[in-house]
Structure 1
Amino acid sequence: MSAILSVDHVGVRFGGLVAIADLHLDVAQGEILSLIGPNGAGKTTAFNVMTGFLKPSQGDVRFRGTSLTGLSPHAIARLGLARTFQRTSVFPDDTVFDNVMIGLHGQGAQMARAPLLAALIGRAGAGERQLRARAEALLDWVGLGARAQEKAGALAYGEQRLVGVALALATEPAMLLLDEPVSGMNASETRVFVRLIRQIRERGITILLVEHDMPMVMEVSDRIVVLNYGRLIAEGPPEAIRSDPAVIEAYLGQGSAARRAAAEAQATREAAHA
């Protein structure tokens, strides 16, 4: 399948610190790709480059054939590339519904700055009703419809993250970047979120995911790329990444790959003699 997003030999340096050395990857149209790696591997830095919050020291990022170099985050979002963030940013004293409405208004929805004549003949009111219906649909989609009239600050942390997902989906993106979306969620909430990710993809939205919950990553991903110290060390389907010695060593330390291989061999021998 053709690439919707291409990261072309991107590097990021902060003085003498190399955050990303030479990252090159393509995200295929319609796939769920996970970007994983130990803490400090450069995952969020890569997200920030892709979405215009950080300028690369070298290389280029192209989205649907358009270079994103020099574009603002808002301009990139208008092209159809949306993201969520590691930390929630809700208005805690407003309802969940009003949080989404604020986001919709802030994205330059059609009714904003309606001309006086349009207001007089009721078009502005119609636009507002459309926005309210859109907000309700988004909250139903992410599973927060029943919590719409509760204060956002009263939601559990994981539920607050779903508000951020609703706001990202409100931009009607072609591709969605999710930065640690299940952080703070329990096992049941994570399972629900996995279903949501699949529903998002079913609606034609490509997904790039950064996440530390490895069982969730292995379950939901079509393909996984692995960063360590700012370099890509592995790429492939979940079953290949799960047993890759370089990945095991990056996560668990030197020698762990050999121990893992020995343990798996022992388990195989025991199964054969059972």
Structure 2
Amino acid sequence: MSDTPILSIEHVGVRFGGLVAIADLHFDVHAGEIVSLIGPNGAGKTTAFNVMTGFLKPSQGQVRFRGTSLQGLQPHEIVRLGLGRTFQRTSVFPDDTVFDNVMIGLHRQGRARVLDTLLGRDRAGEARLRERARDLLDWVGLSGRAGEKAGALAYGEQRLVGVALALATEPAMLLLDEPVSGMNASETQVFVRLIRSIRERGITLLLVEHDMPMVMEVSDRIVVLNYGRLIAEGPPAAIRADPAVIEAYLGHSSAALHQDGAGRTAATETIDA
């Protein structure tokens, strides 16, 4: 893990009229880390992701990726710099096969001249793309589903198709927006292994996620938002026991609950559950 920030959020604020969605958000992600951005519903997490990836312009501050300001860049330009993302909702082509979904994603990345491919003038390029698609499906564990229609997949498997499409952009850093939402415990553990394999291949990860056991298991560091403000940052053990985090999730009265025999509050148990 490098000490050099790959992503810097520099005092970012977002306002919609008189509503403050994010206020003075500032944190770094270092190359090689797995960092999770958490907080109660409405805390500003997805808004922050949208700022980082160019879908939303900040009212103040800026985002830097690999030392380059992302101010004024369009989402596709940010992707070309090496910052990829997934979205909360699945966005597969339901009537196309899983393999064809990934091929469509690869063509969209401009790795082949589409017209030449359609006219059969770039057979070598098409063969390389097909090999790349097979590699991506193997990486996310969907090789056995390649010939099935994407719309017939279980919800968790459709999310894996989305990850394959994001990985097709060859990112240096990947932002995952609620990646295990809707998954059962078994599917979540599969995804945890995938996250670790992505990091092992040199890709930095930033997650927005509500599944606290998964967050605690996979994260090197956790950044906590509440009402658009940064309230805590640190390793999982510190976040798990932080009174401000417990209060944000469960309210002041829960934060004051007595400790159990293991020295942990009942509120902490709930965050960990």
TM range (shorter): over 0.9
> For the residues of structure 1 that align with 2:118 and 2:98, how far apart are their CA atoms?
30
Q: Are the counterparts in 2 of residues 111 and 128 from structure 1 also a CA contact under 8 Å? A: no
Alignment of 1:35-184 (within 5 A): 35-114=37-116, 119=121, 124-184=122-182
Which amino acid letter does the alignment assign opposite residue 75 of structure 2? P
Displacement of 1:184? 1.1
2:259 to 256, 263, 267: 263
Q: Are the counterparts in 1 of residues 42 and 227 from structure 2 also a CA contact under 8 Å? A: yes
For the pair shown, the structure with the greater C-alpha radius of gyration is 1
> For the residues of structure 2 that align with 1:80 and 1:112, how far apart are their CA atoms?
22
Tell me the alpha carbon deviations over residues 14-37 of structure 1, each in whole angstroms, 9 at most, x when there is no partner: 000000011001000110000000
Which amino acid letter does the alignment assign opposite residue 244 of structure 2? A
Task: Give the root-mean-square deviation of aligned CA atoms.
Answer: 1.6
Gaps in structure 1 of 5+ consecutive residues: 270-274
Instruction: Give the corresponding residue for 1:25.
Output: 27
Displacement of 1:253? 1.2
Q: Are the counterparts in 1 of residues 112 and 126 from structure 2 also a CA contact under 8 Å? A: no
Displacement of 1:113? 3.7
Q: Are the counterparts in 1 of residues 7 and 64 from structure 2 also a CA contact under 8 Å? A: yes
Which amino acid letter does the alignment assign opposite residue 237 of structure 2? E
Q: Are the counterparts in 2 of residues 20 and 231 from structure 1 also a CA contact under 8 Å? A: yes
> For the residues of structure 2 that align with 1:161 and 1:61, how far apart are their CA atoms?
27
Q: TM-score, normalised by structure 1?
A: 0.93
- Secondary structure of the 1:255 match is helix
Instruction: Give the corresponding residue for 2:269.
Output: none
Which amino acid letter does the alignment assign opposite residue 151 of structure 1? K
Q: TM-score, normalised by structure 2?
A: 0.93
Displacement of 1:257? 1.2
Q: How high is the sequence identity, in percent, across the aligned residues?
A: 82
Q: Are the counterparts in 2 of residues 6 and 26 from structure 1 also a CA contact under 8 Å? A: yes
Instruction: Give the corresponding residue for 1:34.
Output: 36
Instruction: Give the corresponding residue for 1:195.
Output: 193
Displacement of 1:219? 0.2
> For the residues of structure 1 that align with 2:117 and 2:156, how far apart are their CA atoms?
40
Tell me the alpha carbon deviations over residues 198-257 of structure 1, each in whole angstroms, 9 at most, x when there is no partner: 000000000000000000000000000000000000000000000100000100112211
Displacement of 1:112? 2.8
- Secondary structure of the 2:202 match is coil
Decide whether aligned partners of structure 1 residues 156 and 118 sit closer, same or farther in structure 2, where only a CA change above 3 A counts: closer
> For the residues of structure 2 that align with 1:228 and 1:164, how far apart are their CA atoms?
28
Decide whether aligned partners of structure 1 residues 267 and 220 sit closer, same or farther in structure 2, where only a CA change above 3 A counts: closer
> For the residues of structure 2 that align with 1:188 and 1:142, how far apart are their CA atoms?
15
- Secondary structure of the 1:134 match is helix
- Secondary structure of the 2:164 match is helix
Which amino acid letter does the alignment assign opposite residue 173 of structure 2? M
Instruction: Give the corresponding residue for 1:185.
Output: 183
Q: Are the counterparts in 1 of residues 94 and 150 from structure 2 also a CA contact under 8 Å? A: yes
